[in-house]
C-alpha cells in the first residue's frame, strides 16, 4: 500500500464545496464533508462573539504522500486559510487503511 495522508480542513459553513472542487482539481480522488459546530473564541468574546457563526463544515481528504502538498496548497488557497478567521487545516499520516481506491 502507498503511504497515505489525511488532510482535515475546517471551514465556514457554505465554503466546503469550493474547497473540495479545488482539491479534486489538484489530484485528490474524493472527499468527505460533514457539519460541525465550533466553540472557543466565540464564547470568550461575549456579546461580540455573536457575530461569529459557530456552524462549520469539516472536509476529510485522503491523499497519497506524493500528492499531499499539492492538494494541501489548493485547500489553503481556495479556502483562504492563510487569512485569520477563515478556517483551519492540518495533515495526518495514515498508518493503516482499507478501501482506498487504487491502493497499489
Q: Which parts of the chain sit beneath pLDDT 70? A: 1-2, 40-53, 101-104
Q: Identify whether the C-beta of residue 68 lies closer than 8 Å to the C-beta of residue 4.
A: no
Could you tell me the pTM of the whole model?
0.83
Residue 102's pLDDT is what?
Answer: 60
Give the three-state DSSP class for 86.
Answer: coil
Cell of 2: 502507498
Residue 98's pLDDT is: 86
Domain boundaries, the chain: 4-94
Domain 4-94, CATH among 3.30.1510.10, 3.30.70.120, 3.40.50.700, 3.40.190.10: 3.30.70.120
Q: How far apart are CA 104 and CA 102, in angstroms?
A: 5
Bridge-partner residues for 11, per DSSP? 57, 87
CA-to-CA distance for 89 and 23, rounded, in angstroms? 13
Q: Does residue 24 contact residue 18 with C-beta atoms inside 8 Å?
A: no
Amino acid at each position: 500500500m502507498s503511504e497515505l495522508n489525511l488532510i482535515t480542513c475546517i471551514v465556514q459553513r457554505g465554503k466546503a464545496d469550493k474547497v473540495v472542487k479545488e482539491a479534486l482539481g489538484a489530484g485528490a480522488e474524493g472527499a468527505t464533508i460533514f457539519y460541525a459546530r465550533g466553540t472557543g473564541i466565540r464564547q470568550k468574546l461575549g456579546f461580540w462573539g455573536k457575530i461569529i457563526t459557530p456552524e462549520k463544515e469539516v472536509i476529510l481528504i485522503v491523499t497519497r504522500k506524493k500528492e499531499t502538498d499539492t492538494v494541501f496548497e489548493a485547500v489553503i488557497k481556495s479556502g483562504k486559510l492563510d487569512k485569520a478567521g477563515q478556517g483551519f487545516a492540518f495533515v495526518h499520516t495514515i498508518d493503516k487503511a482499507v478501501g482506498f481506491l487504487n491502493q497499489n
